[in-house]
């Protein structure tokens, strides 16, 4: 047994690990410090500038300090460090360890076989097709005994595999049909992800859920007389998934996505203190938990793509700068519809904490606070968002990449650099300006200056995780 103490001097959480964990990369579940198991516990082992364990914001679930107990089996993840989790200690743990040790010795002497009980861990997979990408996750679920970074729930889960591939299937329809290149990219991503889940995690088709995101067909749904085209494209998608991977496709709407995120991934006594806001390309959506009815308040207004398209038309028609056109259209396109929703549900503008999701919050979080991207949530400051907006307007393009912290873990640094390259490829000046104008309208009407703002770093797979946890919640 390998004894390990978190090298962060402000944390010093203790763990027991199996011997085979020596030399493997780990993440402390309490403070998120990354280190190599079995490394000397000298001060040099802590990355310079490693964040101390600060008091949590009100309502945020934090792992309580608990006594030492053997950790759960560690999952080896090929693409990222292993997350080091702690189990609470049971009063009979020491005597059980002694008893098992005696059984082990006797068993070896007798040449018999030993069988040890372990809490059941189950694996399930999910693939979601959105208007811009195909995202896949594998979720490991177990009865609650460990701290997870989202909330204290009656189950624990980890994500040994998660990946997203850009496709833009729902962003361009030619003759009311899927774009050919986008459709081929989508089919390839679905089959590749499904095969990986089957080969590497031994998942059967019935253990893999395939979803069509709420925004996938929005471009067709908002046009009149497109019912036949919508039905035809859905049939194409359904026939492909059944033929290629033998899994049916399911559809979720925006309200269902919101409810899944709130019910499965947010601590119950924290739900009525926050608002979720998703600023997507096809729509801006969100809502908050209604504690009296158990049904979320929700809203749905225009998105970045609508504003970008109309601003381009106005700039060309009047011969004005795109930024000026976007500024003049932002309020009637986004602000006024949002204002009406807030008048209908005033509670949405009163919750203390706002969790932002979507493309433009992702860009802003990455460029204004890259250090926090390694955490479940990235803290956003309105002054820095406004400064970033002004730089974009001055340069008329994306500003230079942020300087990443010197003590950032090498693997996460590589991941973040990959995301920055993706931002540079996908976010031109007009898309950036339109997205930032959408964000500015939300800030003005929802009074961001007086609220806590966070970007949800796990946002791109929370709907999948939510539906998997709802469907296959362990009974233990």
Query: pLDDT tens-digit profile of 145-192?
Result: 544 444 445 556 777 888 888 888 887 777 788 888 999 999 999 999
Task: Write out the H or E segment, with its range, that includes residue 437.
Answer: helix 429-446
Per-residue pLDDT, 139: 86
Per-residue pLDDT, 66: 37
Are 436 and 289 members of one domain? yes
Domain count across the chain? 4
Q: Please, are residues 143 and 164 in contact by the beta-carbon 8 Å criterion? A: no
Per-residue pLDDT, 61: 36
Are 394 and 304 members of one domain? yes
pLDDT band at 118 (very low <50, low <70, confident <90, very high): very low
Tokens in use for 452?
Answer: 């806590």
DSSP per position, 75-128: PP-SSSPEEE---PPPTTHHHHHHHHHHHHHHHHHHT----------EEEEEEE
What whole-number distance in Å separates Cα of residue 457 and Cα of residue 357?
A: 8
Are 447 and 409 members of one domain? yes
Q: What is the CATH number of the domain that holds 245?
A: 3.30.420.40
Are 31 and 94 members of one domain? no
Are 237 and 317 members of one domain? no
Per-residue pLDDT, 289: 83
pLDDT band at 428 (very low <50, low <70, confident <90, very high): very high
Last residue of one domain, picked from the residues 33, 66, 87: 87
| Residues 6 or more apart in contact with residue 433 via CB below 8 angstroms | 311, 322, 323, 326, 392, 393
Query: What is the number of other CB atoms lying within 10 angstroms of the CB of residue 59?
Result: 16
pLDDT band at 1 (very low <50, low <70, confident <90, very high): low
What whole-number distance in Å separates Cα of residue 261 and Cα of residue 356?
A: 13
Q: Is residue 379 part of a domain?
A: yes
Strand order in the sheet with 82-84: 34-36, 25-28, 82-84
Are 99 and 83 members of one domain? no
Q: Is residue 472 part of a domain?
A: no
- Which of 211, 229, 232 lies closest to 221, judged by CA? 229
Q: Is residue 470 part of a domain?
A: no
Structural domain containing residue 105: 88-118
Q: Is residue 364 part of a domain?
A: yes
Q: Is residue 415 part of a domain?
A: yes
**pLDDT for 341-361, tens place per residue?**
989 888 887 888 999 988 999
Are 213 and 284 members of one domain? no
Last residue of one domain, picked from the residues 251, 282, 304: 251
């Amino acid at each position: 047994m390998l004894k390990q103490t978190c090298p962060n001097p402000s944390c010093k959480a203790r763990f027991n690990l199996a011997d085979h964990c020596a030399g493997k990369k780990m993440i402390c579940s309490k403070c998120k410090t990354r280190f190599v198991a079995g490394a000397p516990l000298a001060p040099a082992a802590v990355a310079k500038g490693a964040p101390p364990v600060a008091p949590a914001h009100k309502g945020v679930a934090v792992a309580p300090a608990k006594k030492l107990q053997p950790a759960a089996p560690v999952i080896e993840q090929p693409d990222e460090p292993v997350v080091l989790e702690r189990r609470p200690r049971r009063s009979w743990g020491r005597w059980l360890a002694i008893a098992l040790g005696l059984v082990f010795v006797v068993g070896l002497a007798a040449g018999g076989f030993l069988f040890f009980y372990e809490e059941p861990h189950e694996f399930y997979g999910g693939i979601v097709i959105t208007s811009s990408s195909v995202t896949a996750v594998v979720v490991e679920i177990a009865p609650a005994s460990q701290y997870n970074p989202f909330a204290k729930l009656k189950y624990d889960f980890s994500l040994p595999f998660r990946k997203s591939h850009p496709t833009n299937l729902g962003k361009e329809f030619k003759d009311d049909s899927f774009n050919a290149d986008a459709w081929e990219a989508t089919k390839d991503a679905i089959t590749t992800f499904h095969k990986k889940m089957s080969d590497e995690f031994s998942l059967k088709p019935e253990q893999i859920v395939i979803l069509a995101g709420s925004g996938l067909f929005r471009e067709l749904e908002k046009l009149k007389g497109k019912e036949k085209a919508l039905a035809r494209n859905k049939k194409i998608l359904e026939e492909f998934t059944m033929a290629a991977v033998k899994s049916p496709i399911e559809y979720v709407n925006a309200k269902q996505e919101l409810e899944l995120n709130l019910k499965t991934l947010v601590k119950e006594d924290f739900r009525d203190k926050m608002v979720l806001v998703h600023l997507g390309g096809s729509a801006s959506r969100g809502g908050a938990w209604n504690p009296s009815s158990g049904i979320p308040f929700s809203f749905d207004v225009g998105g970045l793509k609508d504003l970008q398209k109309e601003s381009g038309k106005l700039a060309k028609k009047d011969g004005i700068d795109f930024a000026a056109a976007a500024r003049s259209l932002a309020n009637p396109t986004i602000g006024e519809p949002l204002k009406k929703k807030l008048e209908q549900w005033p509670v949405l503008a009163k919750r203390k904490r706002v969790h932002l999701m979507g493309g433009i919050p992702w860009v802003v979080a990455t460029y204004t606070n890259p250090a926090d991207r390694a955490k479940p949530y990235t803290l956003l400051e309105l002054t820095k968002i406004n400064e970033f907006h002004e730089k974009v307007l001055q340069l008329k393009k994306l500003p230079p990449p942020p300087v990443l912290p010197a003590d950032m873990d090498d693997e996460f640094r590589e991941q973040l650099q990959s995301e920055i390259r993706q931002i540079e490829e996908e976010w031109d000046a007009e898309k950036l300006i339109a997205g930032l104008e959408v964000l500015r309208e939300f800030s003005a009407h929802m009074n961001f200056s007086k609220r806590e703002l966070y970007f949800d770093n796990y946002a791109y797979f929370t709907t999948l995780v939510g539906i998997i946890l709802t469907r296959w919640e362990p009974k233990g």
